[in-house]
């Protein structure tokens, strides 16, 4: 596979991670080096591993994986987005306590976001398996691009959050963006065409 094609795929796959990183930066407001490393490392790692897993699974399980992957992504993004919306509305708490609770670069929130933003990469791995393409180089490039986009998005979100009057609204928008990404995943999977 040509390098430009791989880069195109990597950028396309990194868009969800980029949008989620912006929302995370808005949510945590003060982004540390440790948080930047954690989020970019996990998003990049999951984006690199998912194509390898998909490639390893091959065409034998493609139909069953495709049947549920979009629902899993939607559920994870909707859960984290709903939590962000709830925190924006209930902003009366002590600021330090709220910041600790909102840190999506830790614990299960980090794992859920990492999985949700990388499920599409699983399908790419399945596709490459059927095309009998090598997976190692594309997986590394996909992971690096996702990590870089995550760093940029996280710090872009932090800049937006510094505007105090915009902060709560930005967090609400961030939660809604996660919901919209999840709904878009369902739309791209054709879920809504079955209802209309």
DSSP assignment string, 30-88: S--HHHHHHHHHHHHHHHHHHHHHHHHHGGGGHHHHHHHHHHHHHHHHHHHHHHHHHHH
Q: Are 159 and 48 in contact (CB under 8 A)?
A: no
- 82-91 per-position pLDDT tens digit: 876 776 677 5
H or E segment to which residue 102 belongs = helix 95-102
- 12-44 per-position pLDDT tens digit: 888 888 888 888 888 887 889 999 999 999 999
- 55-102 per-position pLDDT tens digit: 888 755 656 666 677 777 677 667 767 876 776 677 545 444 444 446
Cα–Cα dist 25/35, whole Å: 10
> Chain centroid to CA 60: how far?
26
Query: Does the pLDDT at position 171 exceed 50?
Result: yes
Q: pLDDT value at position 91?
A: 58
Cα–Cα dist 77/99, whole Å: 20
Confidence tier at 117 by pLDDT (50, 70, 90): confident
Confidence tier at 157 by pLDDT (50, 70, 90): confident
> pTM, whole model, 2 decimals?
0.71
Q: Are 70 and 78 in contact (CB under 8 A)?
A: no
First to last CA, the chain: 38
H and E: helices and strands count for the chain:
7, 0
Of 20, 9, 26, the C-alpha closest to 150 is 20
Q: How much of the chain exceeds pLDDT 90, in percent?
A: 20
Q: Are 178 and 74 in contact (CB under 8 A)?
A: no
Q: Mean pLDDT across the stretch 45-49?
A: 95
């Amino acid at each position: 596979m040509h390098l430009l094609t791989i880069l195109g795929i990597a950028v396309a796959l990194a868009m969800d991670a980029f949008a989620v990183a912006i929302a995370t930066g808005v949510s945590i407001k003060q982004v540390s080096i440790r948080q930047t490393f954690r989020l970019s490392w996990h998003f990049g790692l999951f984006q690199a591993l998912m194509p390898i897993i998909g490639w390893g699974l091959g065409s034998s399980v493609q139909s069953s994986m495709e049947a549920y992957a979009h629902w899993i992504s939607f559920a994870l993004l909707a859960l984290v987005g709903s939590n962000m919306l709830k925190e924006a509305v209930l902003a009366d708490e002590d600021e330090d306590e709220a910041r600790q609770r909102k840190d999506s670069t830790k614990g299960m929130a980090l794992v859920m976001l990492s999985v949700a933003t990388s499920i599409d990469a699983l399908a790419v791995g399945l596709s490459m398996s059927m095309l009998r393409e090598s997976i190692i180089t594309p997986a590394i490039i996909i992971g690096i691009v996702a990590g870089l986009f995550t760093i940029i998005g996280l710090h872009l979100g932090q800049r937006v959050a510094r505007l105090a009057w915009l902060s709560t609204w930005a967090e609400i928008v961030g939660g809604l963006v996660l919901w919209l990404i999840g709904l878009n995943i369902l739309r791209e999977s054709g879920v809504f065409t079955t209802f209309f």
